[in-house]
Structure formats: C-alpha cells, structure tokens
Amino acid sequence: MRSTSNQPSNPSSKNYLFFSKLMSSFKKTTFFLTLFIVHVSSSCNQLDKDSLLSFSSNFSSFSPHLPPLNWSSSIDCCSWEGITCDQNNHHVTHLFLPSRGLTGFISFSLLTSLESLSHLNLSHNRFYGNLQNHFFDLLNHLLVLDLSYNHFSSELPTFVKPSNGTGTGNSSVIQELDLSSNSFNGTLPVSLIQYLEEGGNLISFNVSNNSFTGPIPISIFCVNQLNNSAIRFLDFSSNDFGGTIENGLGACSKLERFRAGFNVLSGDIPNDIYDAVSLIEISLPLNKINGSIGDGVVKLVNLTVLELYSNHLIGPIPRDIGRLSKLEKLLLHVNNLTGTIPPSLMNCNNLVVLNLRVNNLEGNLSAFNFSGFVRLATLDLGNNRFSGVLPPTLYDCKSLAALRLATNQLEGQVSSEILGLESLSFLSISNNRLKNITGALRILTGLKKLSTLMLSKNFYNEMIPHGVNIIDPNGFQSIQVLGLGGCNFTGQIPSWLENLKKLEAIDLSFNQFSGSIPSWLGTLPQLFYIDLSVNLLTGLFPIELTKLPALASQQANDKVERTYLELPVFANANNVSLLQYNQLSSLPPAIYLGTNHLSGSIPIEIGQLKALLQLDLKKNNFSGNIPDQISNLVNLEKLDLSGNNLSGEIPVSLTRLHFLSFFSVAHNNLQGQIPTGGQFNTFSNTSFEGNSQLCGLPIQHPCSSQQNNTSTSVSSKPSKKIIVILIIAVSFGIATLITLLTLWILSKRRVNPRGDSDKIELESISPYSNSGVHPEVDKEASLVVLFPNKNNETKDLSILEIIKATEHFSQANIIGCGGFGLVYKASFQNGTKLAIKKLSGDLGLMEREFKAEVEALSTAQHENLVSLQGYCVHDGYRLLIYNYMENGSLDYWLHEKSDGASQLDWPTRLKIAQGAGCGLAYLHMICDPHIVHRDIKSSNILLNDKFEARVADFGLSRLILPYQTHVTTELVGTLGYIPPEYGQAWVATLRGDVYSFGVVMLELLTGRRPMDVCKPKISRELVSWVQQMKNEGKQEQVFDSNLRGKGFEGEMLQVLDIACMCVNMNPFKRPTIREVVEWLKNVPRNKD
C-alpha cells in the first residue's frame, strides 16, 4: 500500500482531477447556480426534510472560515444551502456540498428515502465511513455521485441481487461515479462493476488515489458492446493495482480517457486497447509494463496524450506514429526504447511536449526534420546515443522554451541560428563533444530569456574567454544557473561572470582553473550555490564569500526565485553518469571548494553564512584551527574539512549543529578529545582517522588525563609563572597519590593476608574515563542507591554487578543516546534487566545537591513514566538506574526498525498516544513540584512488552543545568520538536511540552520524522508540511501508508486535529495537556 504523499510529482498526475471533472463540469456549474435561485413559494417534502436533518446530525463543520449550514427545521429545506428541489412535487433532487468544511460519519441509509435524489456531491470534505449495502439503494436512482477527496475507507461492497427481485435488484442508472482520493482498499468487486454497467448508462468511473489492489477488471466495463456501452472515462491511477492489463478495452467504443498510472501493473500493453478508436488519452506512467509499444497505437487517430514513461518498455517507437496528428504530449522517457526517431514523427505538428529522455535511442539527430513542430515548447532527448551536429531544423521551433540534448554524442559548434529561438529559457547540451566555447558563449549571449545554461563536459582543453569585454556585457542578464564543469578549462576564472547579477548557481568544477578565487563572487546578490571543486586554485579563502547576500540569512535565501526551470538539472557535472536529476529547488545552499590548493586559515567570518547547508573544503592546504564560528551555521548538513593541515581541537560547539548528517576532519593534525553529544554520537571513525593525536569515541583511542586537561585549557601558551605553579602542583599531586596508594596497599594486605587470591581487579567504567583514581580509593564514590519499591522493599546492587552486567559499558550494550548521555542495557545473572544511563554534560552539582535532585525525581511514580529505580556516583561519572523497556523506543519502531512501522497498527498507536499523554499530564499537574519535561520526542517514549507507553528522561535537565529555569547557551529540546517561541525567549514551559507532544502525535499519524533533510524543502519539516496539506484539503495524504484503508480514518482525523491544535504557533492557543488527554480518551472507535 502506498501513501499518495510519496507519489512522484508530474504534470499529468496533477491534471488527473481536472480531466475527471471535465465531463460533468456543465452540470455541476448548473447545480451551483441553482443555490442562488430560491423558490420561496415551494415547500419541501416533510419526509425528505426529516431524512436530511437526521443525515446532518452526524456531521459538523471543521473550518472556522466558513459559516455553518443553514439547515434548520424552521426553514424550508428547499431553501437550504446545497439543496435543490423539484418545482412540481417539491422533492429533493440535488444535494451539493463540495468543499464545505464538513466532517463526520456518513450513513447512506439516511438518504435512501430521498427517492427523487439524482445528484449527490459531497467532495472535498472530511466525511468518513464505509459504503454499505444501502449504497446500492442510492445508485438505483442517482445519476451523479461524487465522494472524492474525503476519508471513506474499507473495501467496496459486493452486490448481491435480492432473491425476491426487488429493491437493489433494479438496474443502476448511475452515469458518473467518483470515489477518488479516499482510503478505499481491497479489490474492485466484480459484482459491483457488473451492477454499474448493466444499466448501460455509466459514463465516468474514477477510483484514483486510493489503495486498491489486485487486477483491474477492464473487460467488465466494456461487456455491453451490444448495448452500446456509454463509458467514456476510466481512472484507476495512483493505487496498488497489479498484474497485467486485461484485454477488453477495445470493446469500449466510446472510451476517451484511460488512466492507470502510478500502480504496479506489469506485462505487455494489450493490443486490443488500440481498437478503442475514440481514445484521446492513454496514461500508464510509473508502472512495470514491459514489451513494446504496439504498432496498433497508430489507429488511435484522436489521441492527444500518450504517457508511458518510467516503465520497462523495449523496442522501437512505432514507425508510423506520425499518423497521430492530434498528439500534443508524447512522454516515453525512462524506458529501454531502441532504434531511431521515426521520420513520420515530424507529422505530429501539434506536439507541445516531447520527452524521450533516458532511453537507448540512436541515429544522426541532425537528419531528423524538426521544422514542423511549430507548437513544441519542451523537447528533452537527453541521455540517449544520438550523434551528428545540433539539428539545424530545431531552430524553426519558434515556441521552444526548454531544450535538453545532454549526454549524447553530438559534435560541432553552436550555430548563430539558435538566436531564432527567442522564447528559449532552458538549454542543456552538456556531456557531448562540442567545440569552440568562445563562439558558443558569444552567440548564446543573444538569447535574452535564457535563464538556465548547461554546457558542462564539452570543449575539452580549450581556453575559455576571460576578459570582461570578451563577452557582451549586456548578455546573459537573465542567467540564473550556469554549468561549465568538467571541460578541463585552464587559466583563471573568467572575469565576465561578474556581470551575471541574477546568477544563483554556478558549476565550474573538474577544470584546471588556477589563480585565486575572485573576490567579486561574493558580490553577486542571488548566488547561493558555488562549485569550484577539483581545480588548481590557490590563495586564501576569500573573505568576500562570507558576505554572500543570499547566504547571509534564511530569509534572504527564501527570497531567491527557483520556479523558472522547465526541466530538472544535474546537481553536479560529475554525477551525469548516475542519472540523478535534481530540481534546482532542491539544490542546497552550498560552497564546494574541495580538491584545490587553497591555503591559510578558514576565516571566522564563515559563521555569517546562516543559510549555508553544505560546506566542502576537503583536500586543500588550510591550516590553523577550525573556527568555532562554524557552529553559527545552524542549518549545516554537510561539513567536510578532511585532507588539510588543520590543527588544534575540534570545537565542542559543533555539537550544536543538529542537522549535521555528514562530517569529516580526517587526515589533518588535530588533537585532543573528540566532542560527544548531538550528531557527533552518530559519526564513524572514518570521520576522524589520520589524526594521531585525537582521542575518544569513536576511534577507540583512550584520552589521557593530559589530553583531557588540554581540551579544557584556555590558552595553549601559558606563562612561565603558570608553568612553575603547574610543576609544583603536579609534583605535590604525585606525592600525595603515592602516599594514598601505599596506605591502600597496606590496608589491603591487612584485610587479605593470603595475598591476592581474592583480589578484585576493578576496571574503569569507560576506556575514556577522565579519572586516574582507582575506583576503590573512595568507596563512597562508587555508592549504588536503590529506591524502595511499592512494597517498601529495597534490593542490593553493587557497582561491580553493574559493570559486569553492561560488559564494562561496552558499545555493544548501548541502547540509546541523547543530550543527557548514553543508555546501556544491563543484564544480570538472575535474569533481571535494567537500563543504566550514564549522564554527560556539565555535572556541576555538588554531591549533596545531586542526591537531593535524584531522590526528588524518584518520587515521580506513574504507570506511564519510566520511573527512576536508583543512582550511582562512580569514578567521576553519575549513573541513573531505570527499568528496562523490552520494546525500546517509539522512534525505533517508527523510523529505525525495517518493518517496525508496519507492525504498529492504529489501535496500538492510539494507545501509545493516550499513554504518553497521561504520563506527561502527571508531570505537569500532579507531580510536586510540577516538571517541565523540555525534551518530549519519540525516542523519549519507551514501550514495554505490551506496547504501553512510558515517558522517559523527565527532569534530567536539573541534573545537568542545576537550578536554572531557562537556558542561555544550550538548545532546549531536540530539533523538530522545539516550539517556535523557544527561539525568542529560551524559556521551557508546559505549553512548550504540549507542542513537542503534538509533533509526536504527527509522527504516529504520518510515520515521518519531524525533520528530514533528504526531502525537498517544502516537505522537510513535518509540522509545516502537515499544515500545508491541511490547508490544501489533502489531509488524507499525510497518513502513514501502513494505516490507510484499515477503517480508522475517522479516528486518525480526530487525532490529527488534536495534534494540529498542539502545534499552534501561538503558545497561548495551545490546549493544556489535561485537555489533550481528555480528547484522546474520547476519540471514538469506528465500529461501522
């Protein structure tokens, strides 16, 4: 099953709904106009009125922007909104309530008494329920039924003809049935289709954008050939239909549009589809269809749209395809088509879009006559094996706006005739064998509308023109994207680029440019993507680059226009072979300067580029320290400083880069302890290799006390006076240590006169312990305190048992990590399991204060909390002891475990939300003093063996940041869960916890992470994406595909509304946790 939110985006899929409504648009317009024609003199039938009142009692309005319906018993129902009555008998004939902001469970049995009802339109609302047998009673007299864009679910009912031959046994008169964009599932019942077709009236059938499975019963729709089947529109797209496409469509003599794209259909295209000569559209993209495009397609002379892209088609394009003279869109890209472009294609002179990209087509492209394509706006022939020169006849296509011929075997030069394409805004001819870069640039400057120019991987070893006056200073004034990578250009970076004031992205990578990086690059006002990697550049990192206006702030970067690309572009010239087409809108704000000969220090001003997402400076000669100011790049996702001569320590402040998914400082001269916490807990040893003086996780090189002291030193050049003091202090410390060790050895001999046969060799709690004192020097420092259980019983536990149970706190036993430290699984000999959290951070609390805080936390006891069982202070570390949760965290099940999300059905997820809410409510309302959690997230919601929720990590902030009610330097919570108001005041509040809990509910509903940097910017943040989808009326598309079609859509919608109230931007409009718990408790189960 597939969530439609993950469907590939393409122009044709966006038009599905438009065309599905086209045939009934005149009728619906008429219905809408009747809403304003009120016949006051009429009085509706009382039975109809009572039925409508009963029907409306089950739903309500969810939109505060729309007035309530005027359906009142005191008003004549023929005057109600959306109701039209027959002027003669005053019976209701039309019920028309699309996009009315209504929600509720729909029972169609309440409408069966409306015997004159012929048109029912409830589309674009939030109605839910399933279609029961009363559905057939409605179909007996309905002409039009439109339930699209709602939340109806479950399988469609099968039709059983009554034995007495009455009731639902009558033939259907339905003409238009639209069930698209709901959550229906299962197979399409053959009996239902037969019932709909046997009346011979069905014109339009649309079940797109659901979760149907099984084969498409094509043949049944066309069995009434002898009865002159009326079907004209069939849409099965965006489901999970599988198997082959049946024969039978050829019998649908009136069929005009057939859509079944975005499924998992396989096999060949049935030949008899080409007998349906009325077809004007065939749309089968993104399936697994194989075989060839049959020659019979040329019989469809009325065809205007043929979409077969992203399948497994083989063989040639039909030789006589030119007979399809009405064709406007031919989309055959991303297949395995072979052969040449048929010469007859030139007869398709109505083509607007022709896309044959990513096939194995070949031949001399210049031999094809393009001159007849007078309407052609988009031509994409990229990634084939075409040869010859740039086709001269292309220049007769005066409407051409986007042209891609990239990744072929074209030769020759750019002709001045291209200037006849005055509408051309996108030109990509990369990765060919073109020559004369100077001539090409001088000609192309004359294309005044050109905004994207991709010339990479051509003009090998030529000299690119450099001077400002070489290129027309008034040329390229519309250029926003320029690709000149992989050409082996020499000399300096051309100075005429300075004139391109609209430039946003430039790729000069994989050349041999030398000299310094020009300072004027930093003055281009909209530049946000720079790739100068793999060149011979020298000099310093230009300070001017740190002042790029488009990277100075996220607000400035958001203002950069990215809507002008008619076709996708490659992100980098050296990725061409990977066929990774990335829209420019998803290109990250980035600076790539890797693999050059740059030197000097990395300027501290780099921290001014607030919008920067990727910084790559690898394989240069940069020296000095890593600037602490890099931590100001709060959105940074990639930081590669490997292969330089950097020294000093890795700034601890980099742990604040919460989006950092790639980090490397390998092969430098760095020293000291590797920072821990945040994203640094996820980086492997390869990120740090080649630095012999680094220590700590994850390179398995323990830090000495000297390295730890160095890591906290303020100055690397102490004065002589300080050195003398340090020498005296160290000498005194060593003498004292020797004395203590001597006394300890003597005392051990007195206790154990038999020698060392009972000697306990107690290893350090961690190979990176920052204490050189043997643990048994201070027994008090290894004290384990366990709190009494409910029966006031206290168990004994020693630090030795903990160390043994965690296998000396081995990495293999780590079961969690977060801002407060690592969590280890402890397995004891008696079968007991505990979770041991080793706190990290500023443990500034005195011993007495720490114990007081921990004992206060131990009083928080609730069935939905991971209650504290005890604590231990050992070897400079502080341990907290908890019950072990068998099923780990909610985060693990939703996002980490491969099949975890599919095992969490909706009742389980609702139970988790209800339980976690109760735990948080206890902290907010009952616990004394009240506790603000500060870090509610799915990884802090643990699950026991019954998948009951337990809130963890509450109150820990007081152990790390003692007696502070606000945060000054540390980020409160985890990115994606942090309330917006924390950015201004940094004050952790109860309402902030409610926001975070709302995000967790959205995770449960969608199965998505709060932040996903791999997704396009528009859907990267879960909260904003869900709110946008709600605003667009696409709520049904946000639900996890594992939950759809299971009959719980009504409940999920209610929880979605609760979650959205919790994540309100205004904290004072959020509900209290008490209200949230009450609402979740009252979420009704859909029993119908």
Which single residue is written with the structure tokens 């084939």? 384
Token digits for 64?
């505060």
Which single residue is written with the structure tokens 């009934």? 24
CATH of the domain at 869: 3.30.200.20
Q: From the CB of residue 940, how many other CB atoms can be counted at a distance below 10 Å?
A: 26
Please state, in angstroms and rounded to a whole number, the distance separating the CA atoms of residues 835 and 818: 14
Residue 164's pLDDT is 45
Please state, in angstroms and rounded to a whole number, the distance separating the CA atoms of residues 607 and 1088: 58
Closest CA to 934 of 943, 922, 924: 924
Q: Is 291 left (phi over 0), alpha (psi -120 to 50) or beta?
A: left
3-class DSSP state of 373 = coil
3-class DSSP state of 127 = strand
Q: Are residues 941 and 1080 in the same domain?
A: yes
Q: DSSP string covering 781-832, please?
A: GG-EEE---TTS------HHHHHHHTTTT-GGGEEEEETTEEEEEEE-TTS-
- Is 235 among the domain residues? yes
Residue 338's pLDDT is 96
pLDDT at residue 344 greater than cutoff 90: yes
* pLDDT range class, residue 780, cuts 50, 70, 90: very low
- Is 538 among the domain residues? yes
Point out the domain boundary residue: 313, 332, 353: 353
Q: Are residues 927 and 869 in the same domain?
A: no
Token digits for 1013?
């940097």
* pLDDT range class, residue 236, cuts 50, 70, 90: very high
* pLDDT range class, residue 818, cuts 50, 70, 90: low
Please state, in angstroms and rounded to a whole number, the distance separating the CA atoms of residues 105 and 154: 13
- Is 689 among the domain residues? no
* H-run or E-run covering 331: strand 329-331
Residue 747's pLDDT is 40
Lowest mean pLDDT among 153-167, 207-221, 424-438, 803-817: 153-167
The residue-averaged pLDDT of 769-793 equals: 47
* pLDDT range class, residue 559, cuts 50, 70, 90: low
Q: Are residues 53 and 168 in the same domain?
A: yes
Answer whether the bond into residue 929 is a cis peptide, omega within 30°.
Answer: yes
417-471 per-position pLDDT tens digit: 999 999 999 999 999 999 999 999 999 999 999 999 999 999 998 889 886 566 6
Q: Are residues 529 and 596 in the same domain?
A: yes
- Is 998 among the domain residues? yes
pTM equals 0.66
Residue 1065's pLDDT is 84
Percent of the chain with pLDDT over 70: 76
Q: Are residues 1003 and 1037 in the same domain?
A: yes
CATH of the domain at 983: 1.10.510.10
Residues identified as active-site: 935
Point out the domain boundary residue: 822, 856, 883: 883
Which positions ≥6 away from 1012 have C-beta within 8 Å? 1019, 1020, 1022
Residue 554's pLDDT is 66
| Angle formed at CA 73 by CA 72 and CA 74, multiple of 5 degrees | 90
Q: DSSP string covering 931-969, please?
A: ---S---GGGEEE-TT--EEE-STTTHHHHSTT-SB-SS
Higher pLDDT, 593 or 875: 593
* Helices 990-1006 and 1022-1031, packing angle to 10 deg: 70
Q: Say if residues 372 and 346 touch (Cβ distance below 8 Å).
A: yes
Q: What is the DSSP letter of 521?
A: G
Token digits for 488?
């082996």
591-613 per-position pLDDT tens digit: 999 999 999 999 999 999 988 98
- Is 293 among the domain residues? yes
Token digits for 854?
């921990």
pLDDT at residue 989 greater than cutoff 80: no
Residue 714's pLDDT is 35
pLDDT at residue 37 greater than cutoff 50: no
Q: State the distance between the two ends of the chain, measured CA to CA, in whole angstroms.
A: 22
Please state, in angstroms and rounded to a whole number, the distance separating the CA atoms of residues 512 and 77: 79
Query: CA torsion sign, 677 to 682 to 685 to 686?
Result: negative
Q: Are residues 851 and 916 in the same domain?
A: no
Please state, in angstroms and rounded to a whole number, the distance separating the CA atoms of residues 461 and 699: 43
* pLDDT range class, residue 573, cuts 50, 70, 90: very low
Which positions ≥6 away from 672 have C-beta within 8 Å? 648, 649, 650, 693, 694, 695, 703, 707, 710, 711
| Angle formed at CA 369 by CA 364 and CA 374, multiple of 5 degrees | 140
* Helices 906-921 and 1049-1062, packing angle to 10 deg: 30
838 has binding-site annotation: yes
* H-run or E-run covering 736: helix 720-751
Q: Which domain holds residue 849?
A: 771-883
Q: Are residues 872 and 930 in the same domain?
A: no
Q: Say if residues 443 and 417 touch (Cβ distance below 8 Å).
A: no
Please state, in angstroms and rounded to a whole number, the distance separating the CA atoms of residues 235 and 215: 14
Please state, in angstroms and rounded to a whole number, the distance separating the CA atoms of residues 807 and 1082: 46
Please state, in angstroms and rounded to a whole number, the distance separating the CA atoms of residues 520 and 542: 9
* pLDDT range class, residue 509, cuts 50, 70, 90: very high
Lowest mean pLDDT among 322-336, 379-393, 821-835, 1045-1059: 821-835
Residue 916's pLDDT is 94
647-664 per-position pLDDT tens digit: 999 999 998 887 787 899
Q: Say if residues 133 and 161 touch (Cβ distance below 8 Å).
A: no
Residue 450's pLDDT is 93
Token digits for 398?
């005066």
Please state, in angstroms and rounded to a whole number, the distance separating the CA atoms of residues 257 and 236: 11
pLDDT at residue 1003 greater than cutoff 60: yes
- Is 302 among the domain residues? yes
889-899 per-position pLDDT tens digit: 898 888 877 77
Please state, in angstroms and rounded to a whole number, the distance separating the CA atoms of residues 79 and 41: 10
- Is 382 among the domain residues? no
* H-run or E-run covering 315: strand 312-315
- Is 99 among the domain residues? yes
Q: What is the DSSP letter of 991?
A: H
* H-run or E-run covering 1060: helix 1049-1062
Q: Are residues 867 and 936 in the same domain?
A: no
Residue 1037's pLDDT is 86
Number of domains within the chain: 4
Q: Are residues 329 and 444 in the same domain?
A: no
Q: Are residues 84 and 197 in the same domain?
A: yes
Q: Are residues 87 and 27 in the same domain?
A: yes
* pLDDT range class, residue 778, cuts 50, 70, 90: very low
53-101 per-position pLDDT tens digit: 988 888 888 776 788 888 988 889 999 999 999 988 889 999 999 988 8
Point out the domain boundary residue: 883, 906, 935: 883
Please state, in angstroms and rounded to a whole number, the distance separating the CA atoms of residues 432 and 502: 27
CATH of the domain at 608: 3.80.10.10
- Residue type for position 79: S
Q: Are residues 996 and 955 in the same domain?
A: yes
